[in-house]
Structure 1
Amino acid sequence: MMSSELEQLSPNIEILYRYAKGPVLLLCEHASYHIPEDYQGLGLDPAHQRSHAVWDPGARNVAVALSGMLNAPLVASRVSRLVYDCNRPPEAASAMPERSEIVEVPGNRDLTPTQRAVRVEAVYYPFCKAVAQVLAQRTAQNIPTVLITVHSFTPTFHGRVRAVEIGILHDADRRLADAMLAHAHRLPHRCIQRNAPYGPQDGVTHSLVRHGIDNGLANVMIEIRNDLLATLEDANAMARELMQLIQPALSAIGVELVLGEGKHDA
């Protein structure tokens, strides 16, 4: 299989460019607003069916663009985070939330242990398996790897305007985040902050811990305000901006990067 092909390990998970040989593995846990028919739309108000409560608008577009620039594989969820949030462990209430900010999720109310387990088996475990398979393959080929996960957030939250435009998030391992923040001056027109608008205290670093720290990989989560990602062109432009932080940061932590220029190795 050529690295430019898309794989689906299950109906709910995709791997893009599995065999790309750049030093980064990208994740996008909130890439899709799709809710499978079996869940009957989770009872959502139609006005919210493609809102930020359901997915991270623009995040997948940025991740795909970065994948080309970094010659990097990408693992992404193909279902809404309201079905199962792949950035949360199964025991977390927020893995299948009954409410997301002002959005009620009737289809997630009073789930039985069996109903929760079905979703864990359908979405979370296949996502983790996909990440593990890509990492195992890269280890076998002696490809050095750092982990970057891509998200977006709303310009306002509970009525409060967020000034931050790009958040650089980390948990206990701050190597890559520190290196990226050291080059924030390269984007003087952007408000870039550490662990904002969320941080470890908000339970958002599960993927960084499970797939990054637990595997000894330098890691970072990038959060982008979604009004900056309204179009595909916006997302591609943001990816180019982020490369001004990522490329020197990789070099600073001793990882060699050969720019992909939108192409992938076979």
Structure 2
Amino acid sequence: MATRPDVSDAVETINAGAAGAALILCEHASRRIPPAYDGLGLTEEAALSHAAWDPGARDLSLHMLERLDATLVAGTISRLVYDCNRPPEAPSAMPTVSELIEVPGNVGLSEAQRAARVDAVYRPFCEAVTDQIAAREARAQPTAIVTVHSFTPVYYGTPRETEIGILHDSDTALADAMLKAGARGGRRALHRNRPYGPEDGVTHSLKLHGIAHGLPNVMIEVRNDLLRSPEDIAAIGDELCAMLRPALVHLGLETQGTAHA
């Protein structure tokens, strides 16, 4: 396995220069494993599974982008190569096991191999986000960091009740406003910091790109059985925008007149 494979296309930025306040991040948008990693030794089933990516998350992000006139920064490489929502020192950044799925290609990585993946996958993603934040600051554009994920309905054999999770770290403002708006709808099993929370190490992007820059931030988790068709994705996307849009207005990041249809 090469220590410095060419994976320079590790990130995509869509709708840069958008007028809306939301800067959407989708760290787990793709299950692509570049050839240099030899499939990480995964079975075909494992390579297609939720362990390799967040099914539906990229399409959901794109739907929200259109509704909110947002910018999207999305990873284009499987999180099993490198999980861009984890810092380099975290074992889960390059996991040897994900739930019940073993990842042979991540076993026994040398420091040089780990560093190469950081340089090839993590740093380009972070730099793309930083570039968008800097551009927005330069034009005095209000910004909120919104990360979009999906999760499996059954985890270690246990069904999950949560349909939509609204997650936060120490900055709760945007999550609070979204949960308040969502409570008025009452259609979904909507929960705070479920199925994961800060104690699970899932708020790295919120801390790095949101809190460190003084930007309101929130992480959205959607159970992936609700994202199986374009119609499903559009319906969930509309529900999320109906929570996020008034939350952005409430925090003064947008006005009613600039909230997007």
TM-score calculated relative to the size of structure 2? 0.95
Deviation at 1:260, TM superposition (A): 3.7
Alpha-carbon contact 1:170-1:220 (below 8 Å) kept = yes
Alpha-carbon contact 1:186-1:244 (below 8 Å) kept = no
Give the superposed CA RMSD.
1.1
1:20 aligned onto 2:18? yes
- Listed one character per residue, the Cα deviations across residues 168-218 of structure 1 (whole Å, up to 9, x for unaligned) are 000000000001111222332200000000000000000000000000000
Task: Find the residue that maps to 1:39 and give its secondary structure.
Answer: helix
Matching residue within 123, 126, 137 for 1:125: 123
Task: Find the residue that maps to 1:74 and give its secondary structure.
Answer: strand
Amino acid at match of 1:52: H
Distance 2:225 2:86 in 1: 25
Deviation at 1:19, TM superposition (A): 1.1
Alpha-carbon contact 1:88-1:95 (below 8 Å) kept = yes
Alpha-carbon contact 1:58-1:232 (below 8 Å) kept = no
Distance 1:103 1:166 in 2: 24
- Listed one character per residue, the Cα deviations across residues 65-95 of structure 1 (whole Å, up to 9, x for unaligned) are 1111111110000000000000000000000
Matched with 2:104 is 106
Matched with 2:65 is 67
Matched with 1:5 is none
Distance 2:184 2:61 in 1: 20
Amino acid at match of 1:81: R
Alpha-carbon contact 1:18-1:74 (below 8 Å) kept = yes
Matches within 5 A, 1:125-144: 125-144=123-142
Q: Percent identity?
A: 55
Matched with 2:156 is 158
Matches within 5 A, 1:1-266: 10-257=8-255, 258-261=258-261
Alpha-carbon contact 1:186-1:245 (below 8 Å) kept = no
> What is the number of residues matched between the two proteins?
253
Alpha-carbon contact 2:165-2:191 (below 8 Å) kept = yes
Matched with 1:3 is none
Amino acid at match of 2:141: I
Amino acid at match of 2:136: R
Distance 1:196 1:124 in 2: 25
Deviation at 1:123, TM superposition (A): 0.5
Distance 2:111 2:13 in 1: 29
Report the more deviating stretch, 178-187 or 89-98.
178-187
Distance 2:254 2:231 in 1: 28
Amino acid at match of 1:196: R
Task: Find the residue that maps to 1:49 and give its secondary structure.
Answer: helix
Amino acid at match of 1:185: A
Alpha-carbon contact 1:88-1:204 (below 8 Å) kept = yes
Runs of 5+ in structure 1 lacking a partner? 1-8, 262-266
- Listed one character per residue, the Cα deviations across residues 107-132 of structure 1 (whole Å, up to 9, x for unaligned) are 00010000000000000000010001
Task: Find the residue that maps to 2:162 and give its secondary structure.
Answer: coil
Deviation at 1:152, TM superposition (A): 0.3
Distance 1:142 1:10 in 2: 30
Alpha-carbon contact 2:249-2:259 (below 8 Å) kept = no
Distance 1:246 1:62 in 2: 14
TM-score calculated relative to the size of structure 1? 0.93
